[in-house]
Amino acid sequence: MARRRQLYEGKAKILFEGPEPGTLVQYFKDDATAFNAQKKGTITGKGVLNNRISEFLMTKLAEINIPTHFIRRLNMREQLIKEVEIIPIEVVVRNIAAGSIAQRLGIPEGTRLPRSIVEYYYKNDQLGDPMVAEEHITAFGWATPPDMDDIVHLTLRINDFLTGLFLGVGITLVDFKLEFGRLYENEEMRIVLADEISPDNCRLWDVKTNEKMDKDRFRRDLGKIEEAYQEVARRLGILPEAGARDMKGPETMQ
């Protein structure tokens, strides 16, 4: 069987050349890393669940006219996406203090923030993804001021929409990370949502118990990691029929 040409391998995903120009295939691995890959592990079935969860959320966002790179899911671990030029910025939105903001500013984890806060990190593993200001982003040309206007506007709409969507299934959207790309189509450039939205890059807490249902279970060795990812999919109504057993089988690449 002919394997597609691999273009890039990241910590949790691999990008392959797509079937047509301007498309890529995004493959979701079970590999998990934390703290800039100092901690490594495998979360069985994670790739299958994140592929499905990201498909679901990007499709919902497209329905409210958020442009995304997502085209369609191909199989258990792969989705077809539009090729975009990734903007080297991780956009983090926080609704409740947790993780690095709790540590850096001494805010007890779980404190609701006075308003949603958007932060930027420069995507550079060697530097450990340092936090940057919009000033750095525009001064160094990683994105232009009009790009940033689009990014902030999209990010806040995505936050509002996803907050409501998760609340509807008993989950608090504490914070999450987004990536954007430039899509060139018909001589025009548009900023679109890229990468993935999954429990790998969101903090999701049960509304009633505040139990963590995301990658913090791996980062902080809390156990029941697979179960947490499955529970998110189950609540969203998208857990594959046969449950976890369905997810461990070998994946055919065509």
What is d(CA 181, CA 30) in angstroms, rounded to the nearest whole number? 24
User: Do β-strands 6-9 and 13-17 pair in parallel, antiparallel, or remain unpaired?
Assistant: antiparallel
**Choice from 71, 74, 118, 129 touching ligand TMP (CB under 6 A):** 129
Nearer to ligand TMP, 18 or 50 (CB): 50
E strand residue ranges, 97-222: 112-122, 131-132, 171-185, 188-194, 202-206
Residue 104, both tokens: 């850096």
Interface mask toward ligand TMP for 41-80; x: CB under 6 A: ----------------------------------------
212 part of the interface to ligand TMP, by CB under 6 A: no
Q: Rule CB under 6 A: is residue 201 a binding residue for ligand TMP?
A: yes
100 binds ligand TMP (CB under 6 A): yes
202 binds ligand TMP (CB under 6 A): yes
Q: Which stretch binds ligand TMP (CB under 6 A): 12-20, 54-62, 199-207, 238-246?
A: 199-207
Give all strands of the β-sheet with 70-73 in edge-to-edge order: 6-9, 13-17, 23-28, 78-82, 70-73
Considering the rule CB under 6 A, would residue 99 count as an interface residue with ligand TMP?
A: yes
Query: Under the criterion CB under 6 A, does residue 203 sit at the interface with ligand TMP?
Result: yes
| Residues in contact with 112: Cβ distance below 8 Å, sequence separation at least 6, in sequence order | 95, 96, 97
